[in-house]
Amino acid sequence: MKPTPDDETAPRIAYLVNTYPVPSATFIRRELRQVESQTGPVARFTLRRWATGLVDPDDQEESRQTRAVLELGAVGLGKALAKTTVSRPGQFLKALNQAVKLGRRGASSGQGVLKHLVYLAEACVLLDWHREAGTEHVHAHFGTNSTTVALLCRTLGGPPFSFTAHGPEEFDKPVALGLDAKVEGSAFAVAISEYGRSQLSRWASYDQWPKLKVVHCGLDPLFLKADPVPIPEAPRLVCVARLAEQKGLPILIEAAAKLKAEGVKFDLALVGGGELKTEIESLIDRLGLADSVRLLGWKSNAEVRDLVLQSRALVLPSFAEGLPVVLMEALALGRPVVSTWVAGIPELVRPGENGWLVAPSSVDALADAMREVLEAPVERLEAMGRNGAVRAAERHDAHVEAGKLVALIRESLARR
């Protein structure tokens, strides 16, 4: 049964994500559902679907409710483009000019004019879908192609939009992505941390700064409302991450090898999949870690929760981040974390209080922190875990954070 709005003035909202749902972005699903509980039904649109199977039942259900633009194929996109050209010639020419300008800016990063013409066709499709849904406001996640399409759709006469920039991709190539133009064209722009807002501020003009807001990613009740579970004496650690360069997992494997060479006993579970899977498997074999490091692939929310609870701490040696949800989840479950001094992570993780922060790419520093976790008395880890659970609850309640977003949408519509 679909949620009903709190009142008759609840805005009709749509979500737009470049790929949805995906296993590594369950925070979007949580936010969307909490928004829906406060406003009534939310339309779900994505540019493309996740290419491989979805493990989590909630993701599977979201996929059934989501319309994917690229499933229309080239013929469908062409028809939408032609229809908009005829029905809205002035707005179409304006959006075409905007797409070409953005494409020229993005050419150096592979996001050239041709791709932006595809984005324009996608915007034409969404223009019709928003009309059918009665959309009053669109919220996009990630300041990449999804927000490009939302911006072009707005220029075509579609609904106002906002977007959440997560990082690090948006902040790695802000000029190529036209981040300044997206902030200027939006009703407001959201960052998931103060660090993220600072990076948006770097590229948006000063007069746009009042639009920049912080809405934290929220946690599933499965984590936030979990009953305390004692930390085990067993020397188990867990890492939940995409197997990609930016997560720094080869550094984690090398740190694990250093501990094993010192005679430190441990079991390290790696949860996730990605482009570095083959290289990481090879590194584990080459360093003789097959009996100590396990690659488990993607797991459901419930399975991740159980793996975290079976561990002394969660380790995430990232090189680049926004603010990782998995750190929030581990802290909410009463487990300290080991991570790096990157992006918004220090806003959540406080050394000595609820975890450890080390220099990114330092094998020695990471190994030292892991050794300290493995050798620490359980009583110390549990005290850190309690501190972490309090901090996660204060900052990452999904209902509260979604309420902030709904309030921003209401305010922006009221101003219009």
314 belongs to a structural domain: yes
Question: How many separate domains does the chain show?
Answer: 2
5 belongs to a structural domain: no
Average pLDDT on 80-85 reads 97
138 belongs to a structural domain: yes
Cα distance between residue 101 and residue 106, in whole Å: 9
- In sequence order, the β-bridge partners of residue 240 are 271
Shared domain for 410 and 389, answered yes or no, is: no
Q: In terms of Cα–Cα distance, which of 38, 11, 140 is closest to 415?
A: 11
Bond preceding residue 324 cis, omega within 30 of 0: no
Shared domain for 197 and 292, answered yes or no, is: no
pLDDT digits (tens, 9 = 90+) for 197-227: 999 999 999 999 999 999 999 998 888 888 8
Average pLDDT on 127-148 reads 97
Residue-wise over 359-389: b if at least 16 C-beta within 10 A, else e? ebebbebbbbbbbebbebeeeebbebbebbb
Shared domain for 406 and 358, answered yes or no, is: no
State the chain's mean pLDDT as an integer. 94
6 belongs to a structural domain: no
Cα distance between residue 320 and residue 329, in whole Å: 19
pLDDT at 158: 98
On the question of pLDDT at 6 being above 80, the answer is no
The mean-pLDDT minimum among 45-59, 159-173, 236-250, 384-398 falls in: 45-59
By residue range, what is the domain housing residue 183? 13-218+397-415
CA distances in angstroms from 380 to 39, 130, 242, 384, listed in the order given:
43, 53, 30, 6
Q: In terms of Cα–Cα distance, which of 123, 103, 102, 97 is closest to 16?
A: 123
Shared domain for 28 and 51, answered yes or no, is: yes
On the question of pLDDT at 305 being above 70, the answer is yes
pLDDT at 4: 53
pLDDT at 1: 42
4 belongs to a structural domain: no
Shared domain for 163 and 126, answered yes or no, is: yes
Please provide the DSSP assignment of 263-308 as one string: T---EEEEEB--TTHHHHHHHHHHTT-TTTEEEEE---HHHHHHHH
pLDDT at 5: 56
The alpha carbon of residue 163 and the mean position of all alpha carbons in its chain are separated, in whole angstroms, by 12
The mean-pLDDT minimum among 83-87, 216-220, 368-372, 383-387 falls in: 216-220
Average pLDDT on 280-296 reads 96
Residue pair 190/214 in contact (Cβ under 8 Å)? The answer is: yes
Please identify which residue in the block is written with the tokens 């807002």.
197
Shared domain for 256 and 200, answered yes or no, is: no
350 belongs to a structural domain: yes
Shared domain for 255 and 336, answered yes or no, is: yes
pLDDT-above-90 percentage for the chain: 88
292 belongs to a structural domain: yes
Cα distance between residue 187 and residue 137, in whole Å: 9
Please provide the DSSP assignment of 67-92 as one string: EEGGGGHHHHHHHHHHHHHHH-HHHH
Shared domain for 94 and 144, answered yes or no, is: yes
291 belongs to a structural domain: yes
Output the domain CATH number for residue 96: 3.40.50.2000
Crossing angle of the two packed helices 73-87 and 113-133, in degrees rounded to 10: 80
